Amino acid sequence: MSFSRIFAVFAFIALIVAGCSGSDSDSPTPSPTPTPSPTPTPVAVDVEQVKSNYVDMAYAAYGDSLTTAQALLAAVNAFITDPTEANLDAAKAAYKAARAPYQQSEIMRWDTAITIQTDLTANGGPASVDEWEGQVNAWPLDENHIVGIIEGSETISEGLLIAQNGADDNEANVTTGVHAVEFMLWGEDTNGTGPGAGSRPATDFANDGSCADAFCERRAQYLAAAATLLVDDLTAMYAEWSPTARTTVGTLAYNFLQSDLALDYIVGSIRAMASDELASARMGVGLELGDPEESHDCFSDLSHVAIYYNLQGVRNAFYGRYGSVSGPSLADLVAERDQATFDAVDQALDSIEALMVQIFNTGELETDAVRFDQIIGQDDTGTERQIAEMAVEQLVALDTDMNDVRELLSLTDTIAGGGGDGD
C-alpha cells in the first residue's frame, strides 16, 4: 500500500475544560481506558437487523451531536453577552464536549455509494451525509478568509457564511462549521510544535466601548452566526435518522434501509476513516511533514480528542454500538461466517485502541501534557511519536483485514478517499 494511504450533556461539559488557552491550567477530561470488545451474539442475525441497528446508532450519535452543539451555542451567546475570560473558557469547554459525539458520527459520512443514484433533495433535507458535512466539519481552514470577512463591510449572517464557504474554488476558505467556531474561540495558534494553543483574549469581543480595534462587534456576530448555523445543520441531520424518517421516502434513513449496498457502505466507511482519514490526513501527514497546521483541531490543540473519538466511530460501526445503543452488527455477521476473520479485526481494533488511548491520555495530562501538534514536532526517538506512528501503521494494516471482511461477505468495494477536507 502506498504512503499516500498512510497519510445527560451538561454534566459531561461540567467535567471538562477546553483543551488549551495558552496555559497549562486545563482540567483534564476523564481518561478513557481501552473499551472491551463485545462478544458477538450467539444468535444468528440478518442484514436487515444490522441495518436497523445502524440507523438507531446514527440517530443517537446525531442526537448527542445536536444536544452538545445547542449547549455550545448557549455558552457562546452567554459569552457574547458578557465577554469575560470565564465565559470564554466555558464556551471552549462546550466546544470540547461537542467534539466527542460528533467525531463518532463522522463514520456515517461516506455514503456516496448509496445516495449518488437517488434524488434525496425532494424532502428538503440533506442529499447525503458526505455533501452535508462540508458545511459542518470542513478542514483545513485558512483563517485569513474569516478575518477578511470580519474586517469587511458585508452584513454578517448565516447566509453570508454559507455563500463564502469554499469561495474562489478554494477548499481552505472554510467559513462555517465546528472549525470556524474553534478559530473564533481560540484564535491563531502561534506556538508551532511547542506547547500551548491559540490564546485569543475575551477582549476581542468587548462590548463596553473598550474594543482595541473596530471589529469586536463583528467578531461576536461571526461567532454567533457560525454557532447558530452549526445547530441548524445538525438539527436537519438528526431529523434524517428519526423513527419517522425510517418510513419516509427521501430521507437518509429510509434510503439506507432500502439500499442493497448498506453493508458495503459500512465496510467502506470503516476503511475510509481508518486509512484515508486517521492514518493519512489526520495523523500521518502531520507526522511526515512535521507541520502542526496538519493537526485536525489546530487552533485549540484538541486533535488528540478528535482522532480518539474518530477511532471510536470505527469501532462503533464494526461492533454495532454507540452509547446506550447496541444491537446486531457487522461483527456478528463476520463471526457467524468466519471466526478467524472476526478475530483478526477484533484484535487489530483492540491494539489500535490501546495506542490511541495513550495519545489521548498524554494530551489530557494536567501538567506537562503532550498534545498532537507537539508529537508532530518530536524526532523519531520521541515516545509519543513512536506510539502515534505505531497507531498509523496499524490503521493502515486494518485496511487489509477490512478488505478480507468485504470479500467474506461478497460486498462491493465502495471505499472513497476522504482527503481530510470534509467535502
Looking at the domain assignment, is residue 291 inside a domain?
A: yes
90: CB partners within 8 A, 6+ apart? 75, 78, 79
pLDDT, one tens digit per residue, over 120-135 is 877 778 999 999 999 9
| Count: domains in the chain | 1
Residue 10 above 60 pLDDT? no
Q: How far is Cα 50 from Cα 114, in angstroms, rounded to an integer?
A: 16
Residue 413 lies in a domain: no
Helix residue spans in 82-139 (DSSP H): 85-105, 112-115, 129-133
On whether residue 173 sits in a domain, the answer given is yes
Would you say residue 369 lies in a domain? yes
DSSP code per residue over 294-316? GSTTTTTT-HHHHHHHHHHHHHH
Range in 9-18, 111-120, 325-334, 383-392 the model is least confident about: 9-18
- The answer to whether residue 420 scores a pLDDT higher than 50 is no
Give pLDDT, residue 160.
98
Q: State residue 15's pLDDT score.
A: 38
Residue 117: its pLDDT value, please? Answer: 81
d(CA 192, CA 182): 17
Note the pLDDT of residue 28: 41
Which pLDDT score is estimated for 21?
A: 33
Task: Tell me the per-residue pLDDT of 345-376, one tens digit each, with 9 for 90 and over.
Answer: 999 999 999 999 999 999 999 999 999 999 99
Q: Answer yes or no: is 357 within a domain.
A: yes
Half-sphere exposure of residue 266, counting CA atoms within 13 Å on the CB side?
Answer: 30
Domain that includes residue 325, residue range = 3-20+30-408
CATH classification of the domain holding 187: 1.20.1420.20
What confidence score (pLDDT) does residue 255 get? Answer: 96
Is residue 414 domain-resident?
no
Domain membership of residue 114 (yes or no) is yes
Higher pLDDT: 12 or 326? It is 326
Report the mean per-residue pLDDT for the chain.
90
Instruction: Report if residue 418 sits inside a domain.
Output: no
* Whole-angstrom distance, CA of residue 133 vs CA of residue 250: 18
pTM recorded for the entire structure: 0.90
Q: Is the pLDDT of residue 82 over 50?
A: yes
Angle (nearest 5°) at CA 91 between 175 and 315: 75
